[in-house]
Amino acid sequence: MIRDFKDFKEYVARHRHVRRCIVRADLNLPSDVEDLTKVHAIKDTVMDVLAMDLRVVLISHYKRPSAEDANDPKYSLRNVVNNVSSVVGEEVNFMGGLLFDIDPSSITAKVTMLENLRFYDGETKNDRWFAEELAKFGDIYINDAFSVSHRRHASVCAITEHLPSFAGHSMKREIDGISAVTDHIKRPFTAIIGGSKISSKMEVLKQLSQTADTLVITGAMANTFLASKDVDMKCSLVERDQLEIAAKILREAQANIMLPEDVVAAESINHAGSSYDVTQIPDGYSCFDIGPRAIAKITGIIEKSRTLLWNGAVGAFEFSNFCEGSATVAKVVSHATRHNAIVSVIGGGETVASIGIYKDDITFISTAGGAFLEFVAGYKLPGVEALRKDEASQATRKSGT
């Protein structure tokens, strides 16, 4: 377990030469949503590093630019500086420009943020030379970005070959929190998987169809599963190239798979919707939420569960005319967590956004999307394994073997 990794504070206490600490954060904040969850996630690590009288150098990606976008302000991490300052309670010194033109010894501020890592091709290529240049900005490295640890990037993997490397507090919380639905599961175990595409969640669907007691499939991806059973979904989003895979998952599942019996459909997302049996959707209509019978059935399943995993929106919750499914499921999960001792784990940006006022009642909320799904599916994450490898090499160096 990641929680067994050594504490970076112990290392700093033994090595007085340490002055600067690179913290890999995930500061890829959504432009249209005032959600600072990712910033709050790194606060404990930043505060602990500052308390040891070390300087913090924050590194992160922001959106998906190419090297040619380096001069486009909409891709600059400068956009999140004020957000980070407000959360950590320290002024953040932003150092724009090329990484290679900055003298690391010139960094004197308590908290410094470097420019968007995705401006450099070496980042996504896990380039060792780029990682070496990045490592010059610190004496130790802390990965506190579980949400990007499924990516084999230089700031996640290769950098650990150049600096003593550790897991941050948020990283440890993520692994421990998600382990509630991967290790020593309390049953009945229910998984609710939503969102739009099977293709992006295929492996986790396969895994959960074997390990969960009940797998509830919602969101637009339910359309593809229903279509694989020859239900005419009219104009609803259906991944035609995934029909055989959906049918195979249904056929080979060990879990009880629940698909919506009714949906809320309309001519377009801008029209008011009405509920229909999935076999009676009008021509020209599309599904945008689950219906009242599906909500009632999911409610009953949740109330009988002891462990619950939820990833992916139940419907188009961003629209007031199609938010009932997500809002009700969030309320039921919240109530079950508070009163029935259910362990609830929620992951994925849109899922977190859809639970709104019920956030505080959830057992654990992951800030990750792809990393969350890959970990649940049983994959080893490159960023986590890089820390394990560095931990082993540190132990070897200490023993002199």
CA distance 309 to 28: 24
CA distance 93 to 110: 8
Two tokens, residue 302: 């949740």
Over the stretch 21-79, which tens digit does the pLDDT of each residue have? 999 999 998 776 577 888 999 999 999 999 999 999 999 999 999 888 888 999 999 99
Shared fold status for 2-169+380-399 and 183-376: yes
| Fold of the 2-169+380-399 domain | Rossmann fold (3.40.50)
Contacts of 183 (CB under 8 A, 6+ apart): none
CA distance 305 to 82: 42
Q: Cβ distance 157 to 134 under 8 Å? A: no
Helix (H) or strand (E) holding 140: strand 140-143
Two tokens, residue 146: 């579980």
Chain centre to alpha carbon of residue 335: 24
CA distance 117 to 27: 11
CA distance 212 to 194: 15
Domains of the chain, residue spans: 2-169+380-399, 183-376
308 forms beta bridges with 190, 344
Phi, then psi, of 82 in degrees rounded to 5:
-65, -35
Two tokens, residue 49: 């590093």
Tokens 């943020």 belong to 113
Residue 307's Cβ-side half-sphere holds a number of Cα atoms within 13 Å equal to 18
Output the pLDDT for position 397: 47
pTM, rounded to two decimals? 0.85
Tokens 């003298």 belong to 103
**CATH class label, 183-376:** alpha beta
Output the pLDDT for position 42: 96
Phi, then psi, of 341 in degrees rounded to 5:
60, 30
Low-confidence stretches of the chain (pLDDT < 50) are 1-2, 397, 399-401
Contacts of 19 (CB under 8 A, 6+ apart): 54, 55, 139
